[in-house]
Amino acid sequence: MATPANINPRIVEALYGEALALSDDVRSAFAQHAAIEGDDADLIKVALSCEALRTTTRMMHAVAWLLNHRAYFAGDLSEFQLRRYGKLVDFPEGDSSHLALLDPAMRELIRATELFHARLKRLDNGWRDRPTGAPSAITRLRERLAQHAL
């Protein structure tokens, strides 16, 4: 069985820089594809709009996850708060019928965001699977109640 992920500030900062660069690439790529003409222009515009929304939302969730971890390492969030509110949600991949209408560079960029999100998801799952430090207050209270019940 693999060792649970050990997330540290250096990893989070490196991933944060990567996320910002990728997010900027996404923003500029979708902005450049605003003017589309031709027979399939309407279908391509719909596909582009759907994938732009999906891709930017995926990156927004990734950046938010990283910001939560930065706040945790800065001491602004407790581990309890991070575990409760900092979970990275599963996010759907691009729609294959939409992706088929987009140019290869755009498909490659969308795939890069999917792979980045998957990396973060593996880190998040590994971090969540590791045992927490001290038992929670509720756990300690239950243990005390169990001792008195005997």
Parse the chain into domains and list their residue ranges: 9-149
Q: pLDDT tier at 74 (50, 70, 90 boundaries)?
A: very high
Give the C-alpha separation, 79 to 98, whole Å.
40
With vertex at residue 144, the alpha carbon angle to CA 142 and CA 145, rounded to the nearest 5 degrees, is 65
Residue 27's SS3 state is helix
Name the residue type at position 64. Answer: A
Expressed in angstroms, the distance from the first to the final Cα of the chain is 37
The pTM assigned to this predicted structure is 0.79
CATH architecture of the domain formed by 9-149:
Orthogonal Bundle (1.10)
Give the C-alpha separation, 135 to 25, whole Å.
43
Looking at residue 35, its pLDDT comes to 65
Give the C-alpha separation, 47 to 27, whole Å.
16
pLDDT mean over 73-89? 89
pLDDT mean over 138-144? 73
Tell me 130's DSSP state: S
pLDDT mean over 52-63? 94
Write down the residue that tokens 């593996």 correspond to.
122
pLDDT tens readout for residues 13-51: 999 999 999 999 999 998 876 666 667 778 888 889 899
